[in-house]
Structure 1
Amino acid sequence: MTTVLGRSGWKSSATRRGAIPAQCSLRFFSKSPSINSSSSSNSSSSVAPVFALRARGLPFSATTKKGGAPVAEREVPSGRIRFQGVHHVGLLCENLEESLKFYKDTLGLEENPDRPHHKLPYRGAWLWIGPEMIHLMELPDPDPKDNRPEHGGRDRHFCVGVADVKPLIARLEAGGVKYTTSMSGRPAVFFRDPDMNCLEVAEMGEWR
């Protein structure tokens, strides 16, 4: 499965701050490693990564699922806003190092070195999750961390698609991260980061 994002709309941001590559190819790892009863004590580094991003400086070439005209070439009616997609999700964290350990070591995400953070009045980091990003911000969280729903589908969350959810489940179990499955029976899991931010990862085909 390949998702391609174009320069239109993000060109200025990418040029100034390296926010998004000109073209991103999203690859999913579908081979699930075996997990035995002792895997929870093993390092998560032995488990295959779930998300990987490969960037190339090529022209925009995304097409519709049914092979129609490239998305960037579609005409937008006058007065309508042509949204490019979700650029990033901002998440509050209490301890940046602890959050980075979770997202990098447990989930296997990579930090974006082209998004400097020194100009902001708080600590933070940018992480690639497919062709989009997560912006971790070390700021006070106004929401309570206790009495949150056990199932993340009943709480605020964002969803990321993968070709195969099993490698993620293996990583969560290896890292001792609690998760719940979709109540609708879909191949999807919900879990929380150290600051109780909820993520959903669902198995699905291309949707762009």
Structure 2
Amino acid sequence: MKNVFFRPWVGSEYGLDGSVFNQKILVLGDSHYTDESEIMNWVEDLEQSCDFTTGVMNDYLNPELGGNWKSTFTKFMNSLVLKSVHSERSPIELWNSVAFYNYLQIPAGTTSRLTQHFNYSKEKDRNALLEVIEELNPDIIISWGNKVWDALPENFGYGHYVASEDFSNFYYKYPYKNRELKLLGVTHPSTSYKSSYWADVFSKVGVNI
């Protein structure tokens, strides 16, 4: 994947028989935040930078590590499974059943407030996403936040999307190869995310079966 800098984290059971979900779900985040010293380390160790997303997810799943940032991932997954048979599953089981990837392929400063200064319309970021989709072949993509949603292409290479009748503002169906690829755009879980609302949506469209 020549345009991808931050390679996706792929759960150990993603797309396999041991997955909690019957469909392959790609969770599409916004961006990574880090300080300048970390970026300078990447200049010397490119492999470390490529594995940054995997490191973030491993830190999230490590119960010995704390941090307020973890609530974003917890809030989202809790709403995804709230009205499904998977609500009692452990976070490790759930996150190991999906893939996670951030849209921006450059660090977006040290906090989420700085992302407003970044350009989400660059072809490199869009092409990187298309490469990830090609490699992971998801059935469903759940996109976090308006900035990424607005940057997503209308066509993944196999025809223009069709908006769902029930949730036309944030639920699209794309022709992809010989099947249908579903795309949902949700409020970013780090902000005013209404878990009960999105839990109802996920249940109605059947993305968490």
The structure in which a higher percent of residues are helix is: 2
For the criterion TM > 0.5, the same-fold answer is no
The structure in which a higher percent of residues are strand is: 1
Under TM normalisation by the shorter chain, which class is it?
0.3 to 0.5
Higher relative contact order (Cα pairs below 8 Å, separated by 6+ residues): 2
TM-score normalised by structure 2 residue count: 0.32
Of structures 1 and 2, the larger Rg is shown by 1
